[in-house]
């Protein structure tokens, strides 16, 4: 686990992400990149996978139309997808990657996918959060 944690940490540094929190015992990072529009992205090494989760917004008055739009947008997301937390109220971006063969390009692809989603779909996400 330590090797995976250190490998992920080195990739984050190489990609110039700011690590705002790290816990080696729990194998968790919280990162951000102002340029990418990413804040408080949680990255957890949960052997055998790497879990990336970014909270997007809370559903106050969810409607079938919002769910439909989110599911349709999932088709366009290159890596990762929209998901709901355990309570079904918080919409998150989530992706999982295999730790065993993780490389820099794979992690960068997921981070770029999230950044692209946030830049292209931000108006819709803001509108959904207001419902």
- The CATH number of whichever domain residue 124 belongs to comes to 3.30.1460.10
Q: Band of the pLDDT at 91, cuts 50, 70, 90?
A: very high
Write down the pLDDT at residue 1. 47
Predicted confidence (pLDDT) at residue 50 exceeds the cutoff of 70: yes
Q: Structural domain of residue 82, as residue ranges?
A: 2-130
Q: What is the pTM of this model?
A: 0.93
Confidence of residue 60 (pLDDT cuts 50, 70, 90): confident
Residue 7 exposed, middle or buried by CB count within 10 Å (0-12, 13-18, 19+): middle
Number of C-beta neighbours around residue 98 at 10 A: 10
Sheet containing 38-46: order of strands: 18-23, 28-33, 38-46, 49-58, 90-98, 81-84
| Torsion angles phi and psi, residue 101, rounded to 5 | -120, 25
pLDDT, tens digit, 9 for 90 and up, residues 17-43: 999 999 999 999 999 999 999 999 999
Give the total number of structural domains in the chain: 1
């Amino acid at each position: 686990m330590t090797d995976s944690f250190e490998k992920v940490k080195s990739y984050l540094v190489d990609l110039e992400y700011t690590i705002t929190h790290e816990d080696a015992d729990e194998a968790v990072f919280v990162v951000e990149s102002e340029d990418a529009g990413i804040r408080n992205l949680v990255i957890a090494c949960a052997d055998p996978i790497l879990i990336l989760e970014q909270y997007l917004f809370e559903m106050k008055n969810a409607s079938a139309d919002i769910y439909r739009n989110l599911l349709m947008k999932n088709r366009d997301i290159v890596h990762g997808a929209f998901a709901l937390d355990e309570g079904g109220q918080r919409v998150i971006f989530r992706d999982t990657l295999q730790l065993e063969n993780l490389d820099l390009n794979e992690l960068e692809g997921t981070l770029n996918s999230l950044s692209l989603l946030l830049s292209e779909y931000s108006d819709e996400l803001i509108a959904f959060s207001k419902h």
